[in-house]
A and B are shown apart, each in its own frame.
Chain A
Amino acid sequence: MLFNSLDFAIFLPLVFALYWFVFGRSRKAQNSILLIASYVFYGWWDWRFLGLILFSTVVDYLVGIGLGREENLSHRKLILLVSVLVNLGFLGYFKYFNFFLGNFVRAFSLFGQELSISSLDIVLPVGISFYTFQTLSYSIDVYRKKINPTQDFLTYAAYVSFFPQLVAGPIERASRLIPQFNRERVFGYSKSVDGLKQILWGLFTKIVIADNCSIIVNRIFNPSESYSGSTLIVGGIFFAFQIYGDFSGYSNIAIGVAKLFGFDLMKNFAFPYFSRDIAEFWRRWHISLTSWFRDYLYVPLGGSREGIWKTIQNTFIIFLVSGFWHGANWTFILWGLINALFFIPLLVLGRNRNNLGVVAEGRILPSLKELIGMGLTFSLIVMGWIFFRAENLSHLTLILKQIFSPSLFAVPYFFGRLNAFYTLVGVVFFILIEWFGRESEFAIQTLGSKWKTSYRWLFYYGLIYVILIFTGSGQKFIYFQF
């Protein structure tokens, strides 16, 4: 079920009403209704994959119980291994099997051995990369004794499948979310209003910004066409806003929906395009995933505790794995690699934690230094996104050839000029709102809080008006494929 669909527009109020009005007096009943709703939400795509999520849930629940009872370290490791093998096994099979098979066959052909193994027709279950990481983090945290295993299967199943963040995050931690399932829920007016505002902003960024940018981007990055280097750069810039609008839009809707049910999900984006260096960008982009890799990969590898070379090595590893997490394609791995290359100099110079606060905090405009920093960082990010957007390695080679050619200085080609102009106006509006809201949790959280109600409502109506103009294409969210 897509957030930007009629199905969800009916589903959400229905579940909300059942949750608060029918089952509002019992925490257990509320968790049950959330679990059922989550399975309906997920099964709406393909009910066959419900078995997968249920299996993963049962395995990690039992692993948690087992870890809770076992004190012997080698036994504990074995139990954890079950969770790792099951979750990464699912991921490996559904997401990476054909990739490895294809590369295996190609590698043999380099040595003159032609293998006739055909790839399998595997459908990638929606959101598998998200919920497997969520269940995995639970088992690891129990193993590390950071949290106690939950005995309540209902709570655990509701935690794994919680529909607002099930298919595209934020990837929640058990230590944050399970206690919320165990708590009595009280309806909060301001929290719910906040949630609605966040949903509205999420829909705006998805439907108005991302979906319109995608029209331009899909055309420019169509592998069968060849555009000038300058046009491809323009495509990269629009893609930067497409992927941000799409993914942050999803996260905002997810967090907003969760608020309506009395839950707080973790922040996933913190105005990343206002970052003054790449390190700051990676602290502000897809926070739930980057922090996951930090806690469950970077730190166990030694993090930055074992000298600069080891730190550089670990940094490369998490960037490459992070790239690979996005999909079974060399372009994603290269995207991770290029970001590591952007990041390492800051690490070596000890400047990776220079910009920890909000840019231009308490001021309307940034300083020249901040502006230059943001501009340079955004340029590097766009370069990275071009790697990310390429369909495959040969497409990427074509794009890079065009970019590093005299055509980089040609006048970029804009087709559908009027639509491109509207999209540009939308993007500029989006940047402005994000800029003025950058000190809040999300862009419009505090915007207009001192205005008269009528003016504030007019602003929201304006957003709804624009959303409705562009509603209908029902485009999927990019991150579903990951």
Chain B
Amino acid sequence: MKYFIKRLFIFLSIPIVILTVVFIAVPETPRSEKSLLFSKLDKDYLLRNTSAPRLILMGGSNLSFGIDSSMLEQELGITPINTAIQATIGTYYIMDTILDNVQTGDILVMSIEYSQYFGRHAYGGEELLRTVMDVDRSTINKLRPNQWLNLIVYFPKYSISKIKPTEYILKENIEIGIYERESFNQYGDAVVHWGHNHSDFPPYDRIEGRFNHKFIKDLLIFEQQVEGLDATLYITFPGLQETTFQIMEDQIRKVESELIKNGFNLLGTPDRYMITELLMYNTPYHLNREGVVYRTGLLIEDLQAAGIIPGESE
């Protein structure tokens, strides 16, 4: 037994040491530098350098791939900043890092994927690790213990990706341009795919995990923090493919009822943002150009209904 444990220890120590060194010391790869995660730097720049009041859009790719901010600006007369990148970064990170840049009079509109309300999804995944390690190490101290717990599983994969030859010599993603730092316009909207046609894709399954009540409590705390900065938080619903909507309908209803119960400022209803197949792009949350226009139109109506009308916000 001792011999077995000793040999196993030696066998495992070698890769663990190598991966730890790689994890800490090897910088981001040329391929990862081009990824959409790095658009965070540009979006942060917008947040720091655009004068208040702003319409700050927060969420995952349902927003980055689902909004035309120029329409918002035109209709509402307020400068939008679309800070959304990808859902797997996790809403906790999005909330905790945005607070530093909220200014008096800002209007925050949060539209997060329904999965964020369930299980441990809001704590983030692989993309969060890449964001805090590669994109912005200064935010690493913002991570909560629960987020670290989620990230541990990705440590080996993250380290391995840095010693993966294709990270240095080949591009794996055939949809070049869609998921890159350069895919976003001056507001932070992903726009490259606007010229592309709808592609067929399967719907998502039901969301794994139970409803995360702790997340709702933390969302309430976030709302108070935003209000403490003389800004306002609204929560709206992501544009979601009709088929997926039907598959997870009871879970969506749960989200809606919990948000209503806790008194959040809501914009619209989930049903309003249920999107027909032809307006989708390549996932149940990504919209094509027509879909983006349609969804942005709905959001404008909901914001106007909430009292944000041209001229009033300035």
Residues of chain A at the chain B interface (Cβ within 8 Å):
5-6, 20, 187, 189, 192-193, 196, 218-219, 222, 224-225, 415-419, 457, 460-461, 464-465, 468-469, 471-472
Contacts and interface: CB of A to CB of B under 8 A. Distances in A.
Contacts of A461: 14-15
B1 interface: yes
Interface string B297-310: 00000000000000
Given A218-B202, A222-B200, 9 more contacts: A5-B153, A187-B1, A189-B3, A196-B8, A224-B202, A457-B11, A468-B157, A469-B161, A471-B153
A20 B2 CA distance: 11
* B: interface residue count bin: 20 to 34
A469 B4 contact: no
B242 interface: no
Q: Which 6 A-B residue pairs are closest in the complex by CB-CB distance?
A: A6-B153, A468-B160, A468-B156, A187-B1, A225-B200, A222-B202
Contacts of B172: 418-419
B154 interface: yes
Contact of A472 (B153, B174, B202): B153
A59 B8 CA distance: 42
B1 A418 contact: no
A472 B127 CA distance: 11
A196 B8 CA distance: 10
Contacts, number: 48
A189 B3 CA distance: 8
Interface of B: 1, 3-4, 8, 11, 14-15, 126, 152-154, 156-157, 160-161, 164, 170, 172, 174, 200-202
B189 to A, nearest CB: 26
A464 B18 CA distance: 13
Contacts of A187: 1, 4
Contacts of A417: 174
12 contacts: A189-B3, A193-B4, A218-B202, A222-B201, A222-B202, A415-B174, A457-B14, A460-B11, A464-B15, A465-B160, A469-B161, A469-B164
Contacts of A196: 8
Given A224-B202, A419-B172, A471 B1 contact: no
Contact of B126 (A193, A219, A222, A472): A472
A411 to B, nearest CB: 18
A472 B4 CA distance: 29
B156 A189 contact: no
Contacts of B161: 469
B26 to A, nearest CB: 15
A216 to B, nearest CB: 13
Nearest to A24: B1
A414 B49 CA distance: 45
B4 A192 contact: yes
A50 B150 CA distance: 27
B8 A20 contact: no
A336 B3 CA distance: 49
B174 A471 contact: no
B7 to A, nearest CB: 8
A472 B152 contact: no
A345 B153 CA distance: 51
Contacts of B11: 457, 460
A150 to B, nearest CB: 29
Contact of A20 (B1, B14, B174, B201): B1
A189 B170 contact: no
Contact of B154 (A225, A464, A472): A472
B147 to A, nearest CB: 14
